[in-house]
Structure 1
Amino acid sequence: MERLVVIGGDAAGTSAASQARRRRGAGDLEIVVLERGPYTSYSACGIPYWVGGLVDGPDALIARAPEVHRARGLDVRLGTEAEGIDLDKREVAVRDTATGEAARIGFDQLVVATGASPKRPPVPGIDADGVFGVQTLDDGRALIDGLAPHRRRAVVIGGGYIGIEMAEAMKERGLDVVVLDRGAQPMSTLDPDMGVLVHEQMEAMGIDVVAGADVQGVETGPDGWVRAVVTADGTHPADLVVLGTGVRPASELARDAGLPLGDSGGIRTDLRMRVWGRDPRHDGIWAAGDCVEVLNLVSGRFQHAALGTHANKQGRVVGMNIGGEYATFPGIVGTAISKVCDLEIARTGLREKDADAAGFVYETATIESTGRAGYYPGADKMTVKMLAERASGRLLGVQIVGRDGAAKRIDVAAVALTARMTVEDLTALDLGYAPPFSPVWDPILVAARKAAQKVAQ
């Protein structure tokens, strides 16, 4: 019997395993899933909302428990950490995280789905008690357990997606919140002129945002618990510290085995998610999820993009191919949305610095509109920024900051980017209109019209 070994039991790994099982059946393929933690198939994206008390957890965040996968014919082994891949012997070296017992598991095909690792500032005290990450369900539980009534001040290090979501969670819990971000503005996935809108609105919500913060250390009290975060410009008292500093590909296992990595540190694959390269030892080796890098369809460059949407799609592609079918993952346009309290933030495509790096000559257009007809109750301001290539008018990117359903408007732009539409094409789209949902001219269309005027000059 052929054996498929999957390293990683979350979105990409279990999607690949499940699809392979569905297509191959149980007759000639044994599937072993190695997961070092106690959970499978869970939504890490939901952790901030669990911490904030908006959703239940951790069970509500688990899409499929290990016993569900086992009932479907997957040999799921929890508490089993992969420590090495031997491509010559076609074996994975593993260790039982509870007992320390070592073993080796042979494979015919291998899926590397090791996910991403949180970035931790290399400063003194960063591993102190009271400093929390939010990468796993265990992290979420530890942070909730740390929310004692006498702890009233939270410092969030990092102003990206996780950082602002955790700032909201701490605010929902009634804590005083300071966000320390090393960038000129929070949300570095936006251009600074859009990031400043997020900064201003967070301050208006009572969240103190310190831009350009150079974190130099974490101070602790006599009990070893965190008491302050030290920056180059001052010290910020803290009863809790939450890390929202982003993630990097957890690709060390692949690197040590000699598998190819890209410039971002993610595993490089082809369109079918097979590991890149002509080395015959790479036959039957696949990778998917947050440990890989992907092609950006707008810039034409490879990048790391850690999102559950990509992980699930890539895992499905891997499983279909292992199952004898043909499937590809062509790439991404870089769509992401988030929120802090009632402020919605969205982007897709390229920022100005991305367009510069890719060599585009472009124009930008920024407009203010409302999410509903201006006279309809509840209409609120929305800012849309659009980038378009100067010569062709091709849409290059869109950013949105606003309220009242602003963020999901980004999906129109994501489709337009994938279809390589021009901003002139966008102005003619037949988008839905009714006063409760949009002005006569939808904000996307207003921005496209302004961008089309600028590239035509």
Structure 2
Amino acid sequence: MGLNGDARGGDGRTERLVVIGGDAAGMSAASRARRLKGPGELEIVAFERGHFTSFSACGIPYWVGGEVDGRDRLIARTPEEHRQRGIDLRLRTEVTEIDPAGRRVHARDVDSGSGSWMPYDKLVLATGARPVRPDLPGADAPGVHGVQTLDDGQALLDTLARTRGRRAVVVGAGYIGVEMAEALIHRGFGVTVVDRGSEPMPTLDPDMGRMVHRAMEGLGITMVNDAEVTGILTGPQGRVRAVATTHAEYPADLVILGIGVRPETSLAREAGLPLGAHGGLLTDLAMRVRGHENIWAGGDCVEVLNLVSGQEQYVPLGTHANKHGQVIGTNAGGGYATFPGVVGTAVSKVCDLEIARTGLREKDARRVGLRYETVTIESTSRAGYYPGASPMTVKMLAERRTGRLLGVQIVGREGAAKRVDVAAVALTAGMTVEQMTALDLGYAPPFSPVWDPVLVAARKAAARVRAS
């Protein structure tokens, strides 16, 4: 099928919804709109510049590490399945320009280079995020990999299969960096993680990140903190041979860039659409781009309201992207839905160490002018006498005077991470730590001590607030 289209909505003609981006937000929006309106009422055209749709980028480290058996396990819905549901999905097609005044987009076939304009009545921007690639010598050398798409994951696996040496350096110690370090350990590599921060997992406070640091070293990972990478060094054939910092060089047969992502909003910027302080698109509660009645945006290309701080935040997570897509598809399909915001919940792991956080860190609270109290408690995942009980550390922030819960961080073994969901609900509801102490949580010795660790932290935080 060609890129051209000759029908526009209005005057009884079939409306056209154009979606840019074929992953979580974009295809969730397209699928939801299709459920609300049939092909005779709404034509849906989706452009995706890659080879895949509706895949789990979060699962790539586990595929690389061998815990997930095969790429196809990460694909929720194939292009063929989308097409069978009445969505005109065009792979390997990149939108190169948006014309909001003319209600049209310019799309180009990636393989042939041919392109043309397509008019739209409604537009969805789900352009996602782009990995941060440092402007350093050697950053594009063979053996240096980012991990964002299934194509990236396959390219990395191909490199692993033909790399003779077994030394890997991961640059960055956020979620991707930590998870890829674990994946490479599973693959039998010696792993060094180089990070500019004082501790890994910058989404945690440093005291909690220190626990992750110790656990990673316990797995045999070499941790290098407070290190600024100055270049990626190459050998005679141009392949990577080391990562250089201001103080040392770290030999490498393979380098993973896990520095993070930024919103992919170059199209939006060129079209004059509103961007926030973090570079993401700004939307209203209906996920409509501010000031543009017929354009919506969602997923990793937007900023969202943090319900705790009251400020816009950039939180690129698949959970939000799918919810954004549902809201957008409902509204584009003639219904009504809103996305109120987030509290910033995320979980991860390093082998058997589970890591969770929600709400504000200490520096977040200080930045928005909140005064707070913090408590940190040690507990266990089960009743202490029950076999398999393991230690767990919970840190809790509460607003001074009011006692409003501000944030929770949890590090521990089995059963630790998902406990953060209790705190996420409490944050969303605006509960105080005093109110949390009365929560009727489930108890049995195989699952929890009689006082759940989150409630122990809430009791201590409530006492701290009363004494402040």
What band does the TM-score fall into relative to the shorter chain?
Answer: over 0.9
Q: Once the 2 structures are TM-superposed, how far is the Cα of residue 223 of structure 1 from its aligned partner?
A: 1.3
* Matching residue of 1:112: 125
* Matching residue of 2:392: 382
* Matching residue of 1:174: 188
Match of 1:448, SS?
helix
- Check if 1:127 corresponds to 2:140: yes
* Matching residue of 1:157: 171
* Matching residue of 2:82: 69
- One-letter amino acid matched to 1:103: S
Aligned residues: 453
- One-letter amino acid matched to 2:53: T
What is the distance in 2 between the residues matched to 1:58 and 1:220? 30
- Check if 1:190 corresponds to 2:204: yes
Match of 2:279 among 256, 260, 265: 265
* Matching residue of 2:222: 208
1:341-381 deviation per Cα after TM superposition (whole angstroms, max 9, x unaligned): 11000000000000001111100000011101111111111
- One-letter amino acid matched to 2:420: I
Tell me if structure 1 keeps the 8 A contact 2:383–2:449. yes
* Matching residue of 1:35: 48
- Check if 1:406 corresponds to 2:423: no
- One-letter amino acid matched to 1:417: L
Match of 2:339 among 329, 332, 351: 329
- One-letter amino acid matched to 2:147: V
* Matching residue of 1:440: 450
What is the distance in 2 between the residues matched to 1:151 and 1:432? 50
- Check if 1:364 corresponds to 2:377: no
1:233-257 deviation per Cα after TM superposition (whole angstroms, max 9, x unaligned): 1000000001111100001111110
Q: Once the 2 structures are TM-superposed, how far is the Cα of residue 151 of structure 1 from its aligned partner?
A: 2.4
- Check if 1:248 corresponds to 2:257: no
1:26-77 deviation per Cα after TM superposition (whole angstroms, max 9, x unaligned): 2121100000001000000000000000112211110000000000000000
Q: Once the 2 structures are TM-superposed, how far is the Cα of residue 124 of structure 1 from its aligned partner?
A: 0.7
Q: CA separation of 1:124/1:391 partners in 2, compared to 1, >3 Å: closer, same or farther? A: same
- One-letter amino acid matched to 2:26: G
* Matching residue of 2:232: 218
- One-letter amino acid matched to 2:339: F
What is the distance in 2 between the residues matched to 1:55 and 1:2? 41
1:188-239 deviation per Cα after TM superposition (whole angstroms, max 9, x unaligned): 0000010001001111111111111100000111111111000011000000
- Check if 1:84 corresponds to 2:97: yes
What is the distance in 1 between the residues matched to 2:163 and 2:196? 30
- One-letter amino acid matched to 1:218: I
- Check if 1:53 corresponds to 2:66: yes
Once the two structures are overlaid, the 10-residue window that deviates more, 143-152 or 317-326, is 143-152
What is the distance in 2 between the residues matched to 1:141 and 1:3? 35
Match of 2:39 among 20, 26, 40: 26
What is the distance in 2 between the residues matched to 1:208 and 1:247? 24
What is the distance in 2 between the residues matched to 1:373 and 1:411? 20
List runs of 5+ in structure 1 lacking aligned partners: none
1:131-154 deviation per Cα after TM superposition (whole angstroms, max 9, x unaligned): 011100000001111113622001
Q: Once the 2 structures are TM-superposed, how far is the Cα of residue 102 of structure 1 from its aligned partner?
A: 1.5
Match of 1:100 among 109, 113, 125: 113
Match of 2:214, SS?
helix
Match of 2:278, SS?
coil
What is the distance in 2 between the residues matched to 1:371 and 1:213? 35
- One-letter amino acid matched to 1:332: V
1:97-140 deviation per Cα after TM superposition (whole angstroms, max 9, x unaligned): 10111211111110000000000121111111000111000000
Q: Once superposed, which parts of structure 1, at least 4 consecutive aligned residues long, lie more than 2 Å away?
A: none
Tell me if structure 1 keeps the 8 A contact 2:353–2:413. yes
* Matching residue of 2:158: 145
Match of 1:418 among 417, 425, 428: 428
Q: Once the 2 structures are TM-superposed, how far is the Cα of residue 25 of structure 1 from its aligned partner?
A: 1.3
What is the distance in 2 between the residues matched to 1:333 and 1:166? 26
- One-letter amino acid matched to 2:384: G
* Matching residue of 1:311: 321
Once the two structures are overlaid, the 10-residue window that deviates more, 109-118 or 96-105, is 96-105
- Check if 1:344 corresponds to 2:354: yes
What is the distance in 2 between the residues matched to 1:310 and 1:198? 25
> Identity of aligned pairs, percent?
69
- One-letter amino acid matched to 2:123: L
What is the distance in 2 between the residues matched to 1:256 and 1:270? 20
- Report the TM-score when normalising by structure 2: 0.96
Summarize the alignment of residues 292-307 of structure 1 with structure 2, pairs less than 5 Å apart.
292-307=302-317
1:364-414 deviation per Cα after TM superposition (whole angstroms, max 9, x unaligned): 000011101111111111100000001100000000000011000000000
- One-letter amino acid matched to 2:433: V
Match of 2:420, SS?
helix
Tell me if structure 1 keeps the 8 A contact 2:163–2:253. no
Match of 1:439, SS?
coil
List runs of 5+ in structure 2 lacking aligned partners: 1-13
* Matching residue of 2:439: 429
- One-letter amino acid matched to 1:413: A
What is the distance in 2 between the residues matched to 1:40 and 1:146? 24
Match of 2:169, SS?
strand
Once the two structures are overlaid, the 10-residue window that deviates more, 370-379 or 413-422, is 370-379
What is the distance in 2 between the residues matched to 1:438 and 1:157? 37
Summarize the alignment of residues 228-247 of structure 1 with structure 2, pairs less than 5 Å apart.
228-247=242-261
What is the distance in 2 between the residues matched to 1:238 and 1:364? 41
